[in-house]
Amino acid sequence: MKILVLNSGSSSIKYQLFRCADWQSIASGLVARIGEAEGELKLHWLDANGQPQARQASLPIPTHEDGIDQILRSLCASGALTDVSELAAIGHRVVHGGATFAQPMIVDDDVEAEIQKVVPLAPLHNPGHLAGIAVARRLFPSVPSVVVFDTAFHQTMPPTAYRYAIPEFLYAEHRIRRYGFHGTSHHYVAKRAAVMLGQPLEQCNLITLHLGNGASASAIRAGQCIDTSMGLTPLEGLVMGTRCGDIDPAVPIYLLKNLGLDADGVDQLLNRQSGLLGICGVNDMREIDRLAADGNEPAELAIGITTHRLKKYIGAYYAELGRVDAIVFTGGIGENSAVIRQRSCAGLARLGIELDADANAERIAGERCLSVSGTEVSILVIPTNEELEIARQALATVAAAS
Ligand code: AMP
């Protein structure tokens, strides 16, 4: 059997097909520019001999229904999928599950309605997800659709971590609280960290750092999330590619009152023009690393602010957890930027956090341990794999239901 994972956005659908027997990814790709005059279809797959193949096409893809239909047609044409009956489930990534969903769910009308209810909390993401879910259910009624939420892993946070210090009615009536995101990634790397540490996840205390274009940190006690850096939306917390992360909440008020910006203008400024891009004009960490090495001051400052914030979160989560077995770096930056890892861990030897400089500088891919041997806190690099985690959770959910 196979699992198809869909990540449906407003105008694109990313997909990946997994074989359940060995969790091998046998095909992946995307349809993009849905609704535009010319859409795009990309497919990478392994042929019968295990050789990688690729196909790309430009064609009109007017709706999400056409997009998913094209994905299934091209998967079948490539031989990666014989027929829809091979699918044990379709796993859908959903960014926001509100406070309702702490687990993946097989989609029925009630689940779809609940996801609809949290659209105001994720207006850029949940409508696209809902479009993909509705089409998958309509086109393939015999294949269970399973939704896996970015927020679910963080539902174990206590109110002391998830409530804001604002009037109670904003929580009770408007659901304004911290939810956290990237949960599928934090959960995946936490499980892999437990394997690397040789301990059951239920005994592991971890600080997981997902550092990509979006970035978040989580504190995990005994395998469960007790705090995370993103909040009501993915804007709170660490410095990101174009998002500011933590700022004084009075800054948006100041912008509204003094710069003549409206709400959309402030949203645009803090979500799309801030973060690394806002500080140094570039949001690609590879480029920032290069510029800083050449003495570029804004690039150096961007790294400085990013790692200063990271270190604050590591310290805060260490204090919350009391004992830390491992710090895990993941995401494009966490997996690849030696500078970011080195500067966020620098000076923490008294806490048992000590990077091996040579191991950190080595440019190798894959899971690895970078801490000085014998130190208390392991420092791990674990490439994330959210699609694989969604596929596994989708199969487990379907198996549990039957
Ligand atoms: P993600 O969102 O996880 O795909 O991560 C994207 C970020 O990872 C971008 O800021 C990239 O510049 C960064 N990145 C990818 N490869 C490297 C690398 N070799 N060194 C530093 N940063 C990298």
Instruction: Give the integer Cα–Cα distance in Å for 55 and 90.
Output: 22
Max Cα–Cα distance, the chain, nearest Å: 64
If phi over 0 gives left and psi between -120 and 50 gives alpha, with beta otherwise, what is residue 331? left
How many CA atoms, within 13 angstroms, populate the side-chain half-sphere of residue 176? 9
Compute, in angstroms, the gap from residue 277 CA to the centroid of ligand 1: 14
Cα of 285 vs centre of ligand 1, distance in Å, is 6
The residue with tokens 């604050």 is 312
Q: How far is the CA of 365 from the centre of ligand 1 (A)?
A: 13
SS3 label, residue 85: helix
Report how far residue 98's alpha carbon sits from residue 103's, in angstroms, rounded to the nearest whole number. Answer: 12
In single-letter form, the type of residue at position 77 comes to: A
One digit per residue, pLDDT tens: the chain, 402 residues? 999 999 999 899 999 999 999 999 999 999 999 999 999 999 999 988 889 999 999 999 999 999 999 999 999 999 999 999 999 999 999 999 999 999 999 999 999 999 999 998 888 889 999 999 999 999 999 999 999 999 999 999 999 999 999 999 999 999 999 999 999 999 999 999 999 999 999 999 999 999 999 999 999 999 999 999 999 999 999 999 999 999 999 999 999 999 999 999 999 999 999 999 999 999 999 999 999 999 999 999 999 999 999 999 999 999 999 999 999 999 999 999 999 999 999 999 999 999 999 999 999 999 999 999 999 999 999 999 999 999 999 999 999 998
Phi, psi (rounded to 5 degrees) for 198:
70, 30
Protein residue whose Cα sits closest to atom 4 of ligand 1: 332
CB 185 within 8 Å of CB 214: no
Residue minimizing CA distance to atom 9 of ligand 1? 284
Euclidean distance between CA atoms 278 and 311, whole angstroms: 21
Let me know: does 46 contact 80? Beta carbons within 8 Å: yes
CATH superfamily of 2-149: ATPase, nucleotide binding domain (3.30.420.40)
pTM for this model (two decimals): 0.95
Cβ burial of 315 (10 Å; 0-12, 13-18, 19+) is: middle
Task: Output the six-digit token pair for 186.
Answer: 């934090």
Distance from C-alpha of 235 to C-alpha of 216, rounded to nearest angstrom:
10
- Domain boundaries, given as residue ranges, for the chain: 2-149, 199-386
Same fold, 2-149 and 199-386: yes
Pocket of ligand 1 (CB under 6 A): 212-213, 241, 284-286, 289, 331-333, 336-337
Q: Which ligand 1 atom sits nearest the alpha carbon of residue 276?
A: 10
| Residue identifier of the C-alpha nearest atom 15 of ligand 1 | 332
Ligand 1 atom closest to residue 211's alpha carbon, by position in its atom list: 3
Beta-sheet pairing, 215-221 with 206-211: antiparallel
Atom of ligand 1 nearest to the CA of 363: 19
Residue ID of nearest Cα to ligand 1 atom 8: 332
CA–CA dist 190, 220 (Å, integer):
8
Annotated catalytic residue within 83, 150, 227, 289? 150
Question: Hey, what CATH topology would domain 199-386 get?
Answer: Nucleotidyltransferase; domain 5 (3.30.420)
Is 150 an annotated catalytic residue? yes
pLDDT at 365: 92
Nearest-atom number in ligand 1 for the CA of 213 is 2
Distance of CA 381 from the midpoint of ligand 1 (Å): 14
| Cα 266–chain centre separation | 24
Q: Which amino acid is at 392?
A: R
Find the 164 Cα to ligand 1 centroid distance in Å.
31
Atom 18 in ligand 1: residue holding the nearest Cα: 336
Q: What is the DSSP string of 263-288?
A: HHHHHHHHHHS-HHHHHHS---HHHH
